[in-house]
Structure 1
Amino acid sequence: MIDLQGIEKFYLNKGGKNYVLRHVSASINAGEFVSIMGPSGAGKSTLLSIMGMLEEPTYGSYEFMGQDMFSLSERKRIEVYRNYIGFVFQAYHLIDEMTVKENIEASLIYKKVPSAERKSRVEDLLERFHIGAKRDFFPSQLSGGEQQLVGIARALAVRPSIILADEPTGNLQSAQSLQIMDLFKKLNEEEGITIIQVTHSGVNAAYGNRTLHLLDGVVDKEQFKKGC
C-alpha cells in the first residue's frame, strides 16, 4: 500500500543542511497497524506528513497504492488524499466556529458528497461514537477526549483506506487515551483500515503489529519488524 524509498528531508540554513529525515525506506501493507516511535526531533511527524502528502520530501520516492505520489499534480494528490486518507491530529484541528456535526460533515462537502448521503454518514458516526447529544456543541464545549472522537469521526466520514494519526492521545488523560487506542484497534481488526500512528507511548505502540523506530531521521531497520 505504501512504499517509501530513500526519503530525505532537509532545510537549508547558513550552516548548511539541517536534516530531518535521512534515507528512509519502508513498506507498509494494506491492513497493517504500524507505530512510529522515536525521541522528539527524530522526524516522526515529518515522515507522517509526507505519507499524508502534507509535505514533500527533498529527495526520494513515495508510492501509495502503486502510484508515485510526487509525480502527480497537486490537484491529483489532493484528490487521492480526500478519497483514501484520514488524518487525526494531536491538537484535534477542529474548526472552532463549526458545531460537532458541521466539523464531521466538512470533509464530505469538500469531497462533494450529495447532501442526503452526507446526512446519513454524519448521523451514523454521531451514533457510533455516542456523541449525538453533542451534535450542536462547539469544540470549546467539549472535553479533550470528545474533541478527539470528533476528529476521528471526521477522518472516518470519507471512508478512508488508511488513517494517519499524529500523537492522537498526546493531550488526553490515560482513560481517554485507552478509549481512543481501543477504537483504533477495532477499526483495524474489524474494518481492515490501515493505521499508522506516531507515538511516544510504548503502551500505544503495542496496539500495532509493527513498530518503526526513528533516531535522528534514520530508521533502525533491525527493529522495524513484526512483533517489535
Structure 2
Amino acid sequence: MTSLIDIKKASKIIKSGGNTFKLLDTIDLQVEEGEFISLMGPSGSGKSTLLNCIGMLDGFTSGAYHFLNESVVKMREKNRVKLYKEYIGFVFQAYHLIDELTVEENIETPLLYKKVKSSERKALVADMLDRFNIVGKKNLFPEQLSGGQQQLVGVARALIGSPKLILADEPTGNLNSNQSKEIMALFAQLNKEGVTIIQATHSEENASYGSRIVNLLDGKIVKS
C-alpha cells in the first residue's frame, strides 16, 4: 500500500477576541491509499476542521502534512490548489450545488477547472449521469431535486475528476434512512474500486462502512 496522507503533530489554532482556541491538537494520522476511514466524535471535536485541513481548504498552524509524499505546509498556494483540484473530491452535508446551474452543469464544473476539452467533458458527464441514474434530471436545477438526488449530484461532481481521495463531511446528514443507505452503499462501491475515502460522521451505522474508525475529542485523536 502507498501512503497517501501523513500528518505529524499537526495543530490548528485560531485567535478570536483576544482568546486562543485550539481546534486541533497535535494530530498524528497516516492514511494508506485504498482505506475508508470514518472520523467520529461529538460536535466541536474537530472532525470538519480536520477534513478541511486534509482537503487543503484550510491549513494547519503547526506540524507536518505530507500528501503523496509532498509537503503541503511548505507548498505555495498555487501548487496547493492544483494538488487539491487534481486529487481530491469533496462531498458536503449541505450539497453546495450551484443554484443557477443545471445538474449537468454542476457535475461538469470540476472539469472546467482542469481545462478538459469540451468533447471529453460531455462524454465524462454523460457517463456520470448514466452511472447515477440521473440522465432524466440533467436539465433540472438543484431546487427541483429531492435531498437524496442533490447529494447524488454532489457525489457525481466530486467523482468526475477521478480523484484519489474523497472527503465527505456528514454526507447523509440531511437525508432520510433509505437515501443514506444508498449514498453509503455507493461509497462502499467506490472504495472497492480503489478510491480512498475519509468521512466525518455522527452515525455509528455510517461509520461501520469504513475499514477504520478514528475518534476525536476536543481536537485530539483519542483512539484509532
Q: TM-score, normalised by structure 1?
A: 0.95
Of residues 147, 160, 165, the one that matches 1:157 is 160
* Stretches of structure 2 lacking an aligned partner (at least 5 in a row): none
Q: String of CA shifts for 1:38-65, please: whole Å, max 9, x gaps.
A: 0000000000000000001111111000
Q: How do 1:86-165 residues align onto structure 2 when only pairs under 5 Å count?
A: 86-165=89-168
Matched residues in 1 for 2:84 and 2:181: separation? Answer: 28
**Which letter does structure 1 place at the counterpart of 2:210?**
G
* Structure 1, unaligned runs of 5 or more: none
| Matched residue, 1:188 | 191
Q: CA deviation at 1:16?
A: 3.2
* Residue 184 of structure 1, CA deviation: 0.1
Residue 48 (structure 2) pairs with residue 42 (structure 1): no
Match of 1:18 in 2: 21
Match in the other structure for 1:213: 215
Percent of aligned positions that are identical: 54
- Give the Cα separation in 1 of the matches to 2:37 and 2:152: 20
**Separation (CA, whole Å) in 1 of partners of 2:16 and 2:169:** 27
Q: State the 1:13 CA deviation.
A: 3.2
The structural deviation recorded for 1:87 is 0.5
C-alpha distance in structure 2 between counterparts of 1:104 and 1:180, whole Å: 17
User: Which SS does the other structure have where 1:130 is aligned?
Assistant: coil
Corresponding residue of 1:62: 65
Aligned twin of 2:203: 201
Q: Distance in 1 between matches of 2:182 and 2:140?
A: 21
1:167 aligns with 2:184: no
- In the TM superposition, residue 210 of structure 1 has moved relative to its aligned partner by 0.3
Q: Kindly provide the amino acid, as one letter, of the partner of residue 170 in structure 2.
A: E
- Return the offset for 1:14: 4.2
Give SS of 2:94's match: coil
Q: Aligned partners of 1:180, 1:113: CA distance in 2, in Å?
A: 27
Corresponding residue pairs, total:
221
CA shift digits 1:93-124 (9 cap, x unpaired): 00000000000001101110011110010000
Amino acid in the other structure paired with 1:197: Q
> Which letter does structure 1 place at the counterpart of 2:218?
D
Q: CA deviation at 1:15?
A: 5.2
Report whether the alignment pairs 1:179 with 2:182.
yes
Give the whole-Å Cα distance in 2 for the aligned partners of 1:98 and 1:13.
36
Letter in 2 for 1:43: G
Q: Hey, what's the Cα distance between the residues in 2 that align with 1:6 and 1:16? A: 22
